[in-house]
Structure formats: C-alpha cells, structure tokens
Amino acid sequence: MLAVEERVRQYMKKLEPEFIRHLRWLHQHPELSFQEYETTSYIKEKLVSWGISLEESPVETGVIALLKGREEGPCIALRADIDGLPVREESTNAFPSLQEGNMHACGHDTHTASLLGAAQILAALREEIRGSVKFIFQPAEEVSLGAKKLMEFDCLENPKVDAIFGLHNSPEIPIGTVAVKKGPLMASSDRIVFTVKGQGGHGGIPQRNADPIVAAAAIIQAVQTVVSRNVSPLDSAVISICNVKAGEGTVNNVTPHQVVMYGTVRAYKPEIQKLVEARLKSLTENICAAYGCQGSLDYIYELGVVDNALSLYQAAYEAVVATGAQPVDPDPSTGGEDFSEFLKGAPGFFYWLGVRNEENDCVYSWHSPHFKADERCVAIGAGTYAMSVFTGIETLCKKSL
C-alpha cells in the first residue's frame, strides 16, 4: 500500500487535465459577488457526481458540502472563494471570459478549481480519512460579505470544524512554490469615514465662514503622524484617505458646509487597530474644534487579520512538501481577506499559491485586466488542499493524545 502522499501525487498527475478543464470553464464564466449561480450549479454537479453530500447554506450562491471518512475524527474545513470582478479582460489567456465586462481578475477561478480537484482526490481517498472534510465554496469575497454571511449561519458547526485551510493565488511568487507563513499573513482591513461640519458661505468672504475644507486638509496631513509617531516602529499600520467629497460640481467660489472623507486602515494586531481608532478620533475632533468646525470619525471594523495558527504550521508545511511543491516564506501583505472571518470560529492556515511565470505573461497583479495565472497551479492547489486534510488530522490527533 502506498503512503497517502504518494497517492495524492498520483491523483494530482492523473487528474490534472480534468482540473484544467474546470479552471477554463470557470475562467470563461466569471460571475459577480452573490450572483455566482452558474458557478454554484457547476460545483454542485461535480461534488454530487463524486459522492460528496451537499449541506444547507444560508446563501443561494456558494456551496457547503461534507465528505465523511472511514472513521470518526476531527473535521477539517477547506475554503475557496468563487466570485469574479467587474473588470473587462485584456489578458493573453487562451480561454478568456465569455461574460462581457466580468473577469476572474483576482484568480478565484484557480481557487475554485483547486478545491474541486481536492474534493475529487479526497473522495477517491475517502477510506484513508480518519475524520471528515467540510468544503466551503464561498461566495462574495470581493465585497467582504460572503464569509460573514456563512459565519452568521454557524457554518463551522455540525460537525464542528477543528481547523480550516484556505488559499489565494499569488502572482508575486513563482509557479511551483507555495507560501507557508507563520503568524500574520494578511492585514486587518477597516473602513474609516470622517465627517467635518463647518459653516459654508461665500468663498471670497472667508471671515464669515468656518471652512471645513481647511480643517479636512489639516486632518489629511495629521493622520499620517499616527503611523510615524504613535505606532511603534516595530509594528506596522497603513492609513489611507482615498476619497474626499466637498462642494458641488465645478463651483469655485462657494465654501461648502461639509466635507466627508473615506479611507482604509490596515494593521496586523488588534491592539494597533484600537490605537489607530483612538488617535484618529482624537485628531479629528480636536483639529476640527481648533478650526471652528465639528468633526467626527466612524471607525468600522471590517476584516480581521489573517493570522496563521502556529499549531498548524507544521501540518501546512508538510502538506506543501508532500505535493512536491516548494514551500517559501513570504513577507506578509497589507491586503485584506475575509478568510479572517472563519478564524473567529476555528484555528486556520492560509496559503499563497504561486502562479507567476514570466515566460507565459503570468506577471500581472490582482484585479488587473491583464491578470493571468499559470494553469499548472491548480494541480498544486488541489494537492495542497487535499494533503492539508491528512496532515491536519494527524496534528489534531497528536495534540489530543
């Protein structure tokens, strides 16, 4: 009897043409968040054909499914996001989007195809699984709502998930490699909204006004000192104001009553999020008061940190090695990912799957109309997901001894 990793590698090779067929179909049929109907039907049909049972889900799109192994044991969840973006494809992909104006520009098709591949491998190796596998094909990652909806429904219960694994492709690392990072991999992502209220009036007679634009400009300058003067140099944070709304049309001589500004905050630690929130509130209120205006800040906690569990690091590393891919240790990213929602319910581990190939034009960043992934990533992704079940269950069983 061959060791399980040997069998996983055999299936990766044997089923690769089928994995690539899934990828091409998915790439040609990108659907926007919460509208992934055709994608959902495609996934369900495949899972059922492999004898995997579909579970209840609170959302019409996306799929939750369960595969029971040979005996009772830990439950491992595997998660992939399935949505596309409203981007018009301009890539050199030989199987481009057939949906005008929509594209898998973040490569979620590679995640979906990888998880389908893993499902097929695991169904074939069902007798080797000492526990169960919950497959989560999650809708609407791009709008940061899909995971939240599933978690409100307690998708990590019945059976209770003991560990969850997920992945995202990365055009930053070469095909054949998978990033396995200890601790924080992706940042928290919070939304900030500043409201500055003043007294509008004639732009040529400023002494009669309380100009909210001048106060807003002072805030824009001051918030960057939170990163440089309040956050420790050994920690990280990003504060970006990305949208400033003031005045009407092209009017040039009316001071408005109000300025509203929208932005984002990124960090790797909850205590840094709290610190930034407190400092931004204080700066906003006090600067506005000094300029004769009223200021307020809404700080909306949107996504937590994707913090890879140290207890699963070894399992994750061994899973990648078992597929024959090369594990690499990347710098974390200040991008956000709603996989963090699932980490509120179970320890988890998130990989980056290398898709970069300079010879084949697979070099463009996420959300670019030129984005393209090397198709060979899908077999590696499928193998990584599948092996994570075996190494994950082994780790969990050892821990409970």
Residue among 106 and 196 whose Cβ is closer to Ni ion? 106
Residue among 86 and 206 whose Cβ is closer to Ni ion? 86
Q: How far is the CB of 60 from Ni ion (least distance, A)?
A: 21
Residue nearest to Ni ion (CB): 106
Q: Where are the alpha helices (DSSP H) in 125-171?
A: 146-152
Tell me whether strands 254-255 and 326-328 are parallel, antiparallel or unpaired: unpaired
Residue among 11 and 350 whose Cβ is closer to Ni ion? 350
Cβ neighbours of 158 (radius 10 Å): 12
Backbone φ/ψ region at 226: left (φ over 0), alpha (ψ -120 to 50), beta = alpha
Residue among 106 and 316 whose Cβ is closer to Ni ion? 106
Residue among 82 and 106 whose Cβ is closer to Ni ion? 106
Q: How far is the CB of 103 from Ni ion (least distance, A)?
A: 12
Binding positions for Ni ion, 126-165, rule CB under 5 A: none
Binding positions for Ni ion, 83-122, rule CB under 5 A: 106
How far, in Å, CA of 129 to CA of 245, rounded?
Answer: 56
Residue among 106 and 353 whose Cβ is closer to Ni ion? 106
Residue among 367 and 398 whose Cβ is closer to Ni ion? 367
CA dihedral for 92, 94, 98, 103, sign (positive or negative): negative
Q: How far is the CB of 318 from Ni ion (least distance, A)?
A: 26
How far, in Å, CA of 259 to CA of 24, rounded?
Answer: 47
The torsion of the CA quartet 17, 22, 25, 28, rounded to 10 degrees, works out to -100
φ/ψ (deg, to 5) at 52: -95, 135
Question: How many residues appear in the chain?
Answer: 401
Q: How far is the CB of 355 from Ni ion (least distance, A)?
A: 12
Q: How far is the CB of 339 from Ni ion (least distance, A)?
A: 10
Q: What is the DSSP string of 277-323?
A: HHHHHHHHHHHHHHTT-EEEEEEEEEE--EEE-GGGHHHHHHHHHHH
Among 173, 176, 151, smallest CA distance to 164 is for 151
- Helix, strand, or coil here: 44? helix
Q: Are residues 58 and 153 in contact, defined by beta-carbon separation less than 8 angstroms?
A: yes
Total site size for Ni ion, rule CB under 5 A: 1
Residue among 79 and 197 whose Cβ is closer to Ni ion? 79
Q: How far is the CB of 341 from Ni ion (least distance, A)?
A: 14
Sheet holding 177-179, edge to edge: 53-54, 63-68, 132-138, 75-81, 163-174, 348-356, 177-179, 326-328
Q: How far is the CB of 107 from Ni ion (least distance, A)?
A: 7
Specify the DSSP class assigned to residue 19: H
Locus of tokens 């909210």: 212
CA 329 to chain CA mean position, Å: 19
User: Between 212-225 and 270-290, two packed helices, what is the crossing angle to 10 degrees?
Assistant: 150
Q: How far is the CB of 337 from Ni ion (least distance, A)?
A: 7
The structure tokens listed for 25 are 């179909």
Q: How far is the CB of 334 from Ni ion (least distance, A)?
A: 14
Binding positions for Ni ion, 179-218, rule CB under 5 A: none
Residues 12-41, one symbol each (x = binds Ni ion by CB under 5 A, - = not), give: ------------------------------
Residue among 106 and 133 whose Cβ is closer to Ni ion? 106
Q: How far is the CB of 314 from Ni ion (least distance, A)?
A: 27
Residue among 65 and 106 whose Cβ is closer to Ni ion? 106
Q: How far is the CB of 374 from Ni ion (least distance, A)?
A: 17
Residues 271-290, one symbol each (x = binds Ni ion by CB under 5 A, - = not), give: --------------------
The structure tokens listed for 52 are 């995997």
CA dihedral for 327, 306, 188, 373, sign (positive or negative): positive
Residue among 106 and 175 whose Cβ is closer to Ni ion? 106
- Helix, strand, or coil here: 330? coil
Site residues for Ni ion per CB under 5 A:
106
